[in-house]
């Protein structure tokens, strides 16, 4: 009886370790992915990168669903959701910067046009 337990303990430990090595728990990856998705939504990335944000949310949902049954697959989905969300945020920031620059450039052009009109000789005063 005692002997059996003694044999069984290292075996169990080995099994557990093996399980850890082959399939790490998905929780950290899901947490990281969730944080990136939340950041993307908070940064209003959905307005400009709706597809990427949607992809990320779908993958994160599937990761959560698979967390118990397929931790490895769940972790992969969460990691992919993480980069999808980060890309959505980055693209959305880029697009905003582009629009702002274009707006200012258009403003400069308008100002310069006005300046050129103003530079033409003024009508003679009566």
**Contact footprint for another protein (CB under 8 A):** 76, 79-80, 83-84, 86-87, 90-91, 93-94, 97-98, 100-101, 104-105, 107-108, 111-112, 114-115, 118-119, 122
CB of 35 to another protein, least distance (A): 15
Quick one: 52 or 64, whose CB is closer to another protein? 52
Sign of CA dihedral 59, 64, 65, 70: positive
Nearer to another protein, 12 or 97 (CB): 97
CB of 2 to another protein, least distance (A): 36
Cα–Cα dist 31/67, whole Å:
12
Q: Is the dihedral of CA 21, 25, 26, 31 positive or negative?
A: negative
Round to whole Å and give the CA distance between 29 and 53. Answer: 17
């Amino acid at each position: 009886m005692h002997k059996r337990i003694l044999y069984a303990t290292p075996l169990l430990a080995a099994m557990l370790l093996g399980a850890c090595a082959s399939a790490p728990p998905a929780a950290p990856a899901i947490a990281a992915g969730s944080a990136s998705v939340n950041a993307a939504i908070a940064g209003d990335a959905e307005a400009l990168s709706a597809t990427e944000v949607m992809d990320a949310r779908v993958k994160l949902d599937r990761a959560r669903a698979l967390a118990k049954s397929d931790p490895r697959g769940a972790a992969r989905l969460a990691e992919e959701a993480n980069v999808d969300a980060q890309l959505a945020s980055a693209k959305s920031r880029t697009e905003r910067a582009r629009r702002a620059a274009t707006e200012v450039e258009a403003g400069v052009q308008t100002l310069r046009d006005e300046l050129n009109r103003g530079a033409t000789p003024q009508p003679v005063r009566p």
